[in-house]
Structure 1
């Protein structure tokens, strides 16, 4: 055969004569094409090395817009998960040392959170001060006089202002304080008008004073939402100073005090809160004008937050007046523990090297934070029962029922912080509906809600991708 060499028995390549290689005309053969997977692995090396599970890499691929069709044609893998597993397997784990904790938003002091808990609870004194002013007509549905319009206006305000807060916080997260302020400037008055209208519409014969109180309550909720979203807790505390000065007089509030003694602190705090909110919404010097045609966060994204406010608010109302005091005061420690859990989980995500270690650490930290919150709530419940006039007697059953409500609230807020607000809202609304239709099943409904949120929270938070947003 022409052009081929045949080795005789015993011959080797070293014993054969060297045949000069003839040069052939034509272009030089091209170099082998680079593997697209190697190029992708090099580009995502840092991110893939810090991942503790292939799902994290899959989330990165999907966020880059890679479709399954593109992945099959370019990389020869079925989908983003298969491609992520290959990248995870070929990249050595490298977890950099954690950076110094940032000042915000997940590293905050306990004092600031306790201040927020205080401004959440102080408005409760308004109901004690104004209770005798509302008792001018018969009660309905077995409730004290004026309760129905007050509850209707309060629930309307909770739903509206929860959704409004989410929309304003979204603008703040985008770095546009001006847009957040404009959202509050239009949304807070609209919510106050809606709450006042519902309170007036729900008022029955002889409940006109309660309707007026409900209208003032709606104005306060809107103004307080503005101050809390914009971080003006100290201004809100100053506006509530007239109510705060009434704290030493709590034991005497059920006596026959002049109406002026009760009315002046209420109107003074309401007016001061509204003025502080108006001042906070003034444009900052040199603030740029809004860009024309810029769209904001979708309105539908804020709806689950309003529904969560509805469900959790109803559960708190069903717990009783004294329970409301303890629960509102506990929101300070609750918020601090939420910040600590978020900061801690991000640190562990950078330190731990396997998904198993991360799951075990998250579940342990979740149990410790929930336990710490429930201990704080139990202490506040005993304190509120000892100091508040007419509070229900403290018993193990009473504390246990309140701790279940507290567990639902804290776990729901935690899911809300990690993007699981729709599931939390559904669980709270279902429990509130059961308690409304079957009052005797209230403890069972709240206990079921707490158990369901425990399971849902664990399923959500053990996924490393839930912590990267």
Structure 2
């Protein structure tokens, strides 16, 4: 009975039992590697990375947590996974666009124009100097200096913060909201600056208080024109100040001096009003309510503090130094654009973090050196042309170059979003110079050294340039 179990149907007992054939296991198909799938998915981004940290930032922005990475890819965290992807994906950097375009590529002529409109208001002080000479000076300063400085510093602080807020709106693509911010902020800042100038005036300083009030109004109107890109209109408004050129040698009538000052101020305010006219609310408060959800006001505070610190450092430098520094702002701005554009190009072309760090260090040194060279030349010219200016001694030029380095490096940090650090360093240097005036060069030198270190640490990282 038991043997019959091995017989096929129809077979006899003489037939040998059939031996079961060995079954062949199906060919095994290897499971797909999830790391290969991920590398293919982010290949376009990973190929352009010059450091694994850039890939780690991409993974984290994609919502990958460390627990998900451990379960899915068997790596400890996003940094370990990024290192594997960086080693697995070949570097392929796209060629830079030609010609370069964008907000960080601008012509030298436009930057020089801005530098010119920054410096031309200095001629107003040449015209107004005889009008401010009445009355005694305070704190060992010339007559009228205290209300002028108080009003100017107030305007710098307010308008720096206002400019940041308006530029933020422009960056969000809402030019109307930027204009409305300027429409409310510029008059408020002008009133604040005028009030501070009047409050700081002492006996016999009424003309200086009036000049300071006009200065506050000008700063507000000029901020509107500069933020909205109307430099040429501002240049036309400042043309009456060219009447100060004969005042370097001849004594002009007081009526002519006052008339030129008022003509330039009126033209600046008129141009600013024309630019802001389309932003006037046609539906009252409801029109202004459309600009809700904008940048927080606190985000603009560090920019105002940077304006305070840098403004005080410039004021301590002297009249001819102020002219040189303001004239140098045009080349300074162009060099900032050049550094940013060159760093983006290197980011696309170089393949390792070391190469990028080395290239950025060289570009930073060249741009800073070029700016200081321009500033030294302008300082010598201003010392030769400005009436009563101190001689351009090597020590004095050295001190001014330290202040220039602080300003340029601070502006560079501000351009990359590290404005809080720049503001803190400038405020500490200005505070030290206020408490101990003789320590000015030491304070400026220490501030320049700290900003050099901060700038190099920040900008040598490739991830800093991807924003």
Name the residue aligned to 2:445.
Answer: 447
Name the residue aligned to 2:231.
Answer: 233
Q: Deviations over 1:333-369 (max 9, x none)?
A: 1111111111111001000111111111111111111
Post-superposition offset of 1:79: 3.1
Name the residue aligned to 2:135.
Answer: 137
Name the residue aligned to 1:265.
Answer: 260
1:122 corresponds to 2:120: yes
Does the C-alpha gap of structure 1 residues 74 and 299 become closer, same or farther in structure 2, counting only changes over 3 Å? farther
- What SS does the corresponding residue of 2:372 show, helix, strand or coil? helix
Q: Deviations over 1:129-179 (max 9, x none)?
A: 112212222111111111111111111111111111111111111111111
**How many Å separate the matches in 1 of 2:186 and 2:433?**
30
Q: Write the mapping of 1:384-403 to structure 2, written as runs, cut at 5 A.
A: 384-403=382-401
2:217 to 216, 219, 222: 219
Post-superposition offset of 1:202: 1.2
* 8 Å contact kept, 1:227–1:233: yes
Q: Deviations over 1:184-205 (max 9, x none)?
A: 1111111111111111111112
1:21 to 11, 15, 23: 23
Any unmatched runs of 5+ in structure 1? 1-16
Q: How does the TM-score come out when normalised to structure 2?
A: 0.90
Name the residue aligned to 2:6.
Answer: none
Q: Which has the larger radius of gyration?
A: 2
* 8 Å contact kept, 1:101–1:107: no
Q: Deviations over 1:383-419 (max 9, x none)?
A: 1111111111111111111111111111111111112
**How many Å separate the matches in 1 of 2:255 and 2:401?**
38
**How many Å separate the matches in 2 of 1:66 and 1:196?**
54
Any unmatched runs of 5+ in structure 2? 1-18
Q: How large is the RMSD of aligned CA atoms in angstroms? A: 2.4
**Mean Cα deviation higher: 365-374 or 73-82:** 73-82
Post-superposition offset of 1:127: 1.1
**How many Å separate the matches in 1 of 2:27 and 2:298?**
59
Does the C-alpha gap of structure 1 residues 139 and 171 become closer, same or farther in structure 2, counting only changes over 3 Å? same
**Structure 1 segments of 4+ aligned residues over 6 angstroms from their partners:** 28-33
Name the residue aligned to 2:98.
Answer: 100
* 8 Å contact kept, 2:180–2:288: no
* 8 Å contact kept, 1:243–1:266: yes
1:279 corresponds to 2:286: no
Post-superposition offset of 1:294: 3.9
Does the C-alpha gap of structure 1 residues 33 and 168 become closer, same or farther in structure 2, counting only changes over 3 Å? farther
* 8 Å contact kept, 2:180–2:279: no
- What SS does the corresponding residue of 1:77 show, helix, strand or coil? coil
Does the C-alpha gap of structure 1 residues 248 and 55 become closer, same or farther in structure 2, counting only changes over 3 Å? farther
Q: Write the mapping of 1:357-436 to structure 2, written as runs, cut at 5 A.
A: 357-436=355-434
**How many Å separate the matches in 2 of 1:284 and 1:211?**
31
**How many Å separate the matches in 2 of 1:251 and 1:103?**
46
* 8 Å contact kept, 1:311–1:432: yes
Q: Write the mapping of 1:81-96 to structure 2, written as runs, cut at 5 A.
A: 81-96=79-94
**How many Å separate the matches in 2 of 1:442 and 1:278?**
41
**How many Å separate the matches in 1 of 2:292 and 2:36?**
40
Q: How does the TM-score come out when normalised to structure 1?
A: 0.90
**How many Å separate the matches in 2 of 1:368 and 1:69?**
46
Post-superposition offset of 1:244: 2.1
* 8 Å contact kept, 1:171–1:180: yes
Name the residue aligned to 2:242.
Answer: 244
**How many Å separate the matches in 1 of 2:65 and 2:296?**
25
Post-superposition offset of 1:75: 3.7
Q: Deviations over 1:73-103 (max 9, x none)?
A: 5444333322222221221111111112433
Q: Deviations over 1:304-357 (max 9, x none)?
A: 111111111100001111100000000011111111111111001000111111
Does the C-alpha gap of structure 1 residues 293 and 380 become closer, same or farther in structure 2, counting only changes over 3 Å? closer
Post-superposition offset of 1:209: 1.5
**How many Å separate the matches in 2 of 1:379 and 1:109?**
21
Name the residue aligned to 2:166.
Answer: 168
Does the C-alpha gap of structure 1 residues 168 and 102 become closer, same or farther in structure 2, counting only changes over 3 Å? farther
